[in-house]
Amino acid sequence: MSDVLTKARSEPGAAGRVRFYGVHHLALNTDDMKMTVDFYVDVLGMRLVHAMKVPPGLGSGPGNRGNPPFEEIRHYFFDMGRDGLLAFFEMPKGAKQRGDRNALGAMQHVSFAVSPESQQRICERLKAAKVPFDGPLEILPGIFSIYVFDPNDIRLEFSCQPSNGEGEPLIVPQVTQTKDEALAELKTLAGDKAWLDKATAGLPD
Ligand SMILES: [Fe+2]
């Protein structure tokens, strides 16, 4: 553990509260950017906001910091709402196999927050484009989702909360458990009281 992390953990007050403002960008892979733009813009109605190629030197060699190992590939960004970006890299055709969404470390799926009205519009747009989808299904109390696969076989979900009306949904308050509710599950994971207290420190009584 780094010295900074050790210090932050031992002196939580001194380090201050860490704040998370949502997803900055989520980066996914395609081997057909045109197909991907057609789906996200035309079918789903998401806005393309930035189109670029990864600068030279980052794909191969010492400049690579974990990004795809190909030079100057396309990297496009869409507005997925709440000031978050959905990004795609375009791999050269045939260079990579299709991924397994159930592999360890893989992204199983992503759910976008939408209003009930927008969820209905997405259903209509999917039907018009003849893209099959599941739902709506109640997946958590008061939260209803539809599921669809994008043309890259990425599993997408669109979740809404009818009780919130048409405004921006408050997702975390809708699902936040009390300490006792969470402990009913957490005790199947660990029996150490100090650990359980720490894990539930952010929950109401
Ligand atoms: Fe989900």
What does pTM read for this prediction? 0.88
CA–centroid distance, residue 195 to ligand 1 (Å)? 27
| Encoded tokens for 119 | 């969820």
Q: Considering the chain, what is the average pLDDT of its residues?
A: 92
Q: For residue 110, report the distance from its CA to the centre of ligand 1, in Å.
A: 7
Rounded CA separation 152/158 (Å): 17
109: left (phi over 0), alpha (psi -120 to 50) or beta: beta
Higher pLDDT, 146 or 174: 146
Q: Which two tokens stand for residue 2?
A: 């780094």
Q: What CATH class does 22-96 carry?
A: alpha beta
Cα 155 to ligand 1 centroid, rounded to whole Å: 9
Which of 49-53, 59-63, 125-129 is the least confident region?
59-63
* Dist. CA 146 → ligand 1 center (Å): 9
**Amino acid letter at 137?**
L
Domain ranges of the chain: 22-96
Measured over the CA atoms of residue 60, residue 61, residue 66 and residue 72, the dihedral's sign is: negative
Instruction: Identify the band that residue 14 occupies on the pLDDT scale cut at 50, 70 and 90.
Output: low
Q: Is the pLDDT of residue 161 over 50?
A: yes
Residue 161 alpha carbon to ligand 1 centre in Å: 14
